[in-house]
Structure 1
Amino acid sequence: MNIEDLNISHKSCATACAICMLACAKCLDHCAGKVQMTECMKRCRDAMMASADCARFCAGGSRMHSAMCRACAEICEACAAECEKHDDYQCRQCADACRACAEECRRMAA
């Protein structure tokens, strides 16, 4: 089964959020234990949780999805800005996923 087989409302946002959640989890694991990456880990944790919640709100067709999308976009932008400070492949992947998620969430919130 893949995402296209599911009858999910707001599928594109839910998908972007799920991808972001996974990228943030990988970045968080990658940065774990590196003292200089403390802020990156905090931002990744926040974005991972927000994007997971947002994916559920969108997938479930919640009437509050717009509010959640606005919050998720803000959190993901902050994570992307932090990850972009680091010359690291995993951080760049996370930043890209967060930017894509934020863009999709802003579109859904409009």
Structure 2
Amino acid sequence: MLMPLSPRTRQNNSAVLDAISRCIAACELCADACLDEKDVAMMVPCIRLDRDCADICRITAAFIARGSDYAKHVLKECMEICRKCHTECAKHPHDHCIQCAKACQACLEACQAYAG
């Protein structure tokens, strides 16, 4: 059974929501910039993870913001995809990938702190 977040946790959600928002922006920017790279085929796994990460971050932010009883469940998925996106982006030397990897790592850490 999922345990709902406490009212106190919901009140202290600005840090995690800020990190999630930055991650969404970095992932969207990275996915778009990857399309401009010379070897786009090599960037396909990165683009896919960027898109997945941005999408799970959006839904996670919504669940957290409204205090959903399922926020912790969605948060686990968010952390897993952020970890994978970080790993993929960290493989590439492009500035947009480096920035995305950093944002995903920061989001992962904020989510872990929020989850307790």
TM-score range with shorter-chain normalisation?
0.7 to 0.9
Secondary structure in structure 2 of the residue aligned to 1:103: helix
1:20-77 residue CA offsets vs partner (Å, 9 max, x unmatched): 0010000000012611100000110110001111111111111211111111011000
Alignment equivalent of 1:18, drawn from 16, 21, 24: 21
RMSD across aligned C-alpha pairs, in angstroms?
A: 1.3
Q: Does 1:87 pair with 2:110?
A: no
Correspondences of 1:99-110 after superposition (within 5 Å): 99-110=105-116
Alignment equivalent of 1:75, drawn from 78, 81, 84: 81
Is the 8 Å Cα contact of residues 67 and 109 (structure 1) preserved in structure 2?
A: no
CA distance in 2, matches of 1:106, 1:67: 12
Correspondences of 1:38-77 after superposition (within 5 Å): 38-77=44-83
CA distance in 1, matches of 2:74, 2:110: 12
CA distance in 2, matches of 1:85, 1:16: 22
Task: Normalising by structure 2, report the TM-score.
Answer: 0.83
Percent identity, please.
35
Task: Normalising by structure 1, report the TM-score.
Answer: 0.87
CA distance in 2, matches of 1:45, 1:105: 19
The count of aligned residue pairs is 103
Is the 8 Å Cα contact of residues 16 and 104 (structure 1) preserved in structure 2?
A: yes
